[in-house]
Amino acid sequence: MSKEKLRRPRREICVGDLSDQIILQDRSIAAPPADSADFTELFVALDGVWASIQTLQGRIIFDDHTQRDQVATHEVGIRYDSRVGAETWILLEDGRRLDVLSSEDLEERHEWILMQCTDRGPSANVVSEL
């Protein structure tokens, strides 16, 4: 008996769908001043890239960092970037920030990344809410 590999369509993003410019950001947290209990979030721009952005409905993802379910509001696809992970944030052109809940290297070929994100608004102070 010979083994035949079942063909299935490759999961990839069409280059023509990369119509939105975004900025990938890395977030760090600064300790609060002595007279405050609020941490300060610092966002450092990693790179500006072209992306495919789609809105989602009803997808819930368990967030390992906060130990709670998060509702994914957007799916963002970009060319592969090894710096992208669950700590990455995305700044949209209109000033809103998306928190990356999960990222997937499509087909594990280091060509495309598909990220499930949640909208945190223009000036989210998520650290204080946790």
114 has pLDDT over 90: yes
Q: For the segment 76-100, what is each residue's pLDDT rounded down to a tens digit?
A: 999 999 999 878 999 999 999 999 9
CA distance 74 to 53: 7
- What per-residue confidence (pLDDT) applies to 98? 94
Name the residue range of residue 104's domain.
Answer: 15-29+40-120
Q: 130 in a domain, yes or no?
A: no
pTM for this predicted structure: 0.74
In a domain, 127, yes or no: no
Q: What is the CATH number of the domain that holds 72?
A: 2.40.10.270
Residue 97 belongs to some domain of the structure: yes
In-domain check, residue 10? no
CA distances to 54, 95, 104 from 116, in Å: 10, 19, 9
- Is residue 46 exposed (0-12), middle (13-18) or buried (19+ Cβ within 10 Å)? middle
Q: How would residue 4 be classed by pLDDT, with cut points 50, 70 and 90?
A: confident
